[in-house]
Amino acid sequence: MAETGANAAGGEGLLFLTDEQLRKGIEAMFFAYRGFTADPDRILEGMDYGRAHHRALHFVHRQPGLTVSTLLAVLGVTKQSLNRVLRTLIDDGLVESRIGRKDKRERHLYLTDKGGALERELSEAQRVRMRAAYRAAGPQAVAGFRQVLEAMMDPDLRRQYLMLRDRA
């Protein structure tokens, strides 16, 4: 294990931020994200679905009954882009779309049993990797991991994330 730089600077609480240190973080994000998505991608290839479907399933699972516009905001894509993905999920019977009772313009989204099954398969694959990484790095590292990631988010996205994070 090479020196981490952050600690090498010696100052507890004082961050020695060379461009080198930052660059390592940037490259770590790049390579790690590929690993992060690799397992679900592997499962989905062959099915007619992709990463976009996975994301939709994930957040519908997380927040059953959410409206399309809420999902839109969370995913940060256009409604047209989401629609294509959602369309296939609904047509294939993975997601159910119910018209709102109060406001009939809204569509509330739910996973069907079939949709729930796929979501579980995908997220379990992702959790296996995440669990292994957490175990390898240890609890202290895990806390730091999340802190840095949260600090890296755009403010709007962080709001979204925190709302979900501390729900229920």
Partner DNA sequence: TTGGAAAGTCAACAAGGCTGACATAAAATC
Partner DNA sequence: GATTTTATGTCAGCCTTGTTGACTTTCCAA
Which stretches of the chain bind DNA, using CB under 7 A? 48-53, 55, 67-69, 72, 76-87, 97, 99, 102-107
Task: Find all residues with CB under 8 Å of 41, minimum gap 6, and list them.
Answer: 50, 51
> What are the tokens at 16?
């020695």
> What are the tokens at 107?
């569509």
Between 110 and 134, name the residue whose CB sits nearer to its own copies.
Answer: 134
With CB under 5 to 8 Å by kind, the binding choice for 14 among DNA, its own copies, none is its own copies
With CB under 5 to 8 Å by kind, the binding choice for 103 among its own copies, DNA, none is DNA
Between 38 and 148, name the residue whose CB sits nearer to DNA.
Answer: 38
- Tokens 């994000």 — which residue? 29
Among residues 30, 63, 33, which one has the least CA distance to residue 41? 33
Between 110 and 145, name the residue whose CB sits nearer to DNA.
Answer: 110
With CB under 5 to 8 Å by kind, the binding choice for 137 among DNA, its own copies, none is its own copies
Cα dihedral 69, 72, 74, 77 in deg (nearest 10):
-160
